[in-house]
Amino acid sequence: MSKFMDRIENLPVLGIGVSTEYEASSQGGALDPLELHRQHPHYASYMEFGIEAAKGLDKDMRKWSGAGLPSTYHFLDVNLNEDEDLDDAWLAQVCAIRDTINPAWMCGDLGVWHLGRRERGHMLLLPPILTLESVKDYAKGIQKLREATNLEVLPENPPGPLFLGDMGLLEFFGLLCETADTGMLLDCAHLVMYQRAKGRGALDGLTSFPLDRIVEIHIAGGTLKEHDGFEYVEDSHTPEVLDDTWLIAEHVIQNAPNLKAITYECERNSIESVLAGYKRIDSISPWRDREKA
């Protein structure tokens, strides 16, 4: 049996949560995560901190962690397929942040966050090349980061209108989870982007995917776009969640026995505008019968 399947028993059930990035709430009309927690604690059981280590934590993250509330660490600044990117200086910053916020686990989009040297605020994100060689390189990075931080590191399928390589996305991540002996964060909205780009149905490939590896899912709004006849989905994080995203989320929730967390990525919208989305998530979540605080 995979060692991860033993380790997963030690991961907490976080429930339904909210995401944020550095100073996201400072934008006009953006969501105040602590206020969401005060008004609707069941919808903000935890917060996923989107972090660039060089920037550190903003005031909302510090207030949240200072209150002793649960969190996860979502990296925004590391190419896990490049060993030199996990240098001592960056790892020291990551571990210092870890010690401050005490996250349940680490996670982050698997891909290329920067080209060349890491620069503060770069945050380029390109999907990984979907090949067996990439699987091996990313698996090494996941294992190294897990060992350095003593946290589970959950790779997330990234957004993108175009994907290169000779493997399917779900095939790639299924093999990656096995090779790295890890779990996964499945972003349902990102998967819709891939499925549509490839002309596939929303649930294509999920029946053969190891759903017991999925620890967390993301749900977010997407916007249909067109440019010179090219149709694609923009990862807009608006409150309007596409039907295919809900279809994937419901399928995974019903069939992923080790699911611990559902993050609604809606940080740049008002609380009032996202309540309908949270209500729908609550209605399909595996924890809907829990007593609500």
In the predicted structure, residue 230 carries a pLDDT above the cut 80: no
Distance, CA of 113 to CA of 138 (rounded, Å): 13
Q: What is the pLDDT at residue 126?
A: 93
Q: What is the pLDDT at residue 290?
A: 54
Angle subtended by helix axes 243-255 and 188-197, to nearest 10:
120
Distance, CA of 31 to CA of 220 (rounded, Å): 14
In the predicted structure, residue 1 carries a pLDDT above the cut 70: no
Tell me the DSSP string of 136-196: HHHHHHHHHHHHHHTS-EEEEPPP-S---BSS-HHHHHHHHHHHHT--EEEEHHHHHHHHH
Task: Please write the tens of the pLDDT for every residue from 56-115.
Answer: 999 999 999 999 999 999 999 999 999 999 999 999 999 999 999 999 999 999 999 998
pLDDT, averaged across the chain: 93
Query: Which pLDDT band holds residue 236 (cuts at 50, 70, 90)?
Result: confident
Q: What is the pLDDT at residue 100?
A: 97
Q: What is the pLDDT at residue 29?
A: 81
In the predicted structure, residue 119 carries a pLDDT above the cut 80: no
Domains of the chain: 12-284 (3.20.20.150)
Tell me the DSSP string of 195-252: HHHTT--TTTTTTTS-GGGEEEEEEE--EEEEETTEEEEE----S---HHHHHHHHHH
In the predicted structure, residue 127 carries a pLDDT above the cut 90: yes
